[in-house]
Amino acid sequence: MNDTKRPRRPTKGGYARGDETRRRIIEAALDLFGEYGYDGASTRDIAARAGVNAPALQYYFESKEGVYRACADYIVETVWSSFEPVVRRASAALERGADTAGLIDAFIGIQEVIADKMFMKSGSANHRLFFAREQTGHEPAIASDILQERLRNPLNAIGAALVARITGLPADDPVTLIRLVSLYGQLMLFHISPRSVLKLLGWSEIDSEKAELMKATVCGQTRVLLELWAAGRDADRTRARAAADSGPAASASRMEAKGEKRGKGRRGVTIREKADSGAA
């Protein structure tokens, strides 16, 4: 099979049925790539899980790499539909110059969606495993490239812009980016090491109630940190203004102003003295 060819589309008249077949193959591949990784999942197994024959898989995707690429595209499309509304609201908050509270709410809105995607059972566990395996760097780079360009880069850009505005640092400042990573990183352990987390918490699974508790706790921590950094920003600005008011330039300006005032006073006395002398 030629890995460089583009996946085929169904011919006219068979598109709806072809689309359904294509979707079944992608979902089966996500399960198997999540369970066994790229190397461990064969095209034969993917076809069997999807209930199609091997030539059908070749027809739609040309190769296993084509299926893997389609899985990454599928994830981006389904996941981004959840992020788009909160990203749009965050962009609007930045454009209108929202206050600190509004900016913090916008950031937490994004983090809540991330938490929902990680904690809730909206997709199969193997979809999350697909993400986790991709993060290890041992899977083909094509999925990472797609996820980075179409999902992570937009989320990182809006997140960095919000943190920058809240903290008063440039969006590309290393401190801003480290803070962004630390905020998002609160969620990653739950995602990549769920068994360890469950054991620590003494839970057998993460149901909807536990997922809400985890989301509320993490987002609450995020709010505390962002409010603390915003307070630090305001304190830095206050100190900077105080330093400007008490610096050499400010002192010279005040001395000059006092000198002018005294000069005016002396000129006024001289005029009055002359006036009194003339009257005498």
Where do the H-state alpha helices sit in 51-124? 54-61, 64-95, 100-119
pLDDT digits (tens, 9 = 90+) for 165-212: 999 999 999 999 999 999 999 988 887 778 898 999 999 988 889 999
pLDDT digits (tens, 9 = 90+) for 116-161: 988 765 556 667 788 878 877 788 899 989 999 999 999 999 999 9
Q: How far apart are alpha carbons 89 and 99 in whole angstroms?
A: 14
Whether the model clears a pTM of 0.85, i.e. scores above it, the answer is no
Mean pLDDT of all residues belonging to the chain = 84
Give the pLDDT confidence score for residue 61 in this predicted structure.
Answer: 94
- Token duo for residue 33: 């790539």
Percent pLDDT > 70 in the chain is 79
Torsion angle, CA of 34/35/39/42, rounded to 10 degrees?
Answer: -100
Q: How far apart are alpha carbons 132 and 119 in whole angstroms?
A: 14
Please return the burial class of 69, using the count of CB atoms within 10 Å of its CB with bins 0-12, 13-18 and 19+.
buried
Give the pLDDT confidence score for residue 2 in this predicted structure.
Answer: 43
